[in-house]
Amino acid sequence: MQRANWHVGKDRVERIWRREGLKVPQKQKPRGRLWLNDGSCVRLRPERERHVWSYDFVSARTHDGRTARMLNLIDEHTRECLMIRCERRWSSAKVIGALADVMVVKGVPEHIRSDNGPEFVARDLRKWLAATGAQTLYIEPGSPWENGYCESFNSKLRDEFLNGEIFYSIKELRALAERWRVHYNTVRPHSSLGYRPPAPAAWLTEAAQGHGKVESKERFPLSHTPDYCDGSYLLPAALH
């Protein structure tokens, strides 16, 4: 709201949330970190870009009731979402292909964290990751909090995107998921980054016209963002 020149305090925003019956985050009790005060780590703490990536699956449904699974990949240090890939069914070969597409652009991480799902512990995937030089970090079974960065991202994805959309096809789900990923990386503020987006200028250097990365193209604003202007967004002349 401040980015859209709305001069309003957080207390007034919270009062409006409560009056409209919206969900207001409740205060949480302090919780201990997964690394100790003396510097010893219970889990590997991300210290720089491409130090630790993490990935996980999130389930969604299209309007016909069929299930789709979204593979989310994030950089734990920068909080940038590197990929949201939607498929009806996943295999280790598809996971390898998705990771390869990202590594060609972003480079190879030092470590990659995941749970013990069958796609992640598959022999072919572990062999391929070892060949790239990335080390695997598997969390303890039944302990999703050990993959906290990715679990936090998954909850934001569901609350801010999946719960507010109806998808009539897998193609629509892919297109809208990619649009939300770009918004998350370049516009949405992140509290742990000083209320800045994870990659505010990451996609502004593309000079290609008519082709190239999806992120380099002009996009319609999301309906819940200030740029939407209560539905009064003007379409380009070519779309009238």
The reported pLDDT for the residue numbered 43 is 65
- CATH number of the CATH domain containing 183: 3.30.420.10
Q: Which pair of structure tokens corresponds to residue 195? A: 């209320």
Range of the domain at 83: 44-203+212-224
Q: Is residue 11 part of a domain?
A: no
Q: Is residue 3 part of a domain?
A: no
State the sign of the Cα–Cα–Cα–Cα dihedral 40, 46, 48, 53.
positive
Q: Is residue 65 part of a domain?
A: yes
What HEC string does 68-98 produce? EEEEEEEECCCCCEEEEEEECCCCHHHHHHH
Q: Is residue 57 part of a domain?
A: yes
Q: Is residue 75 part of a domain?
A: yes
The structure's pTM equals: 0.68
The number of folded domains in the chain is: 1
φ and ψ at 91, to 5 degrees?
-140, 170
Q: Is residue 22 part of a domain?
A: no
The reported pLDDT for the residue numbered 205 is 47
Residue in 174, 179, 163 with CA at minimum distance from that of residue 225: 179
Per-residue pLDDT of the chain (240 residues; tens, 9 = 90+): 666 777 778 788 778 877 877 765 566 666 555 554 444 345 678 888 889 999 999 999 999 999 999 999 999 988 999 999 999 999 999 999 999 999 999 999 999 999 888 999 999 999 999 999 999 998 888 777 788 888 889 999 999 999 989 999 999 999 999 999 999 998 888 777 777 778 775 444 443 344 444 444 444 455 555 555 554 444 444 433
pLDDT digits (tens, 9 = 90+) for 154-199: 999 999 999 989 999 999 999 999 999 999 998 888 777 777 778 7
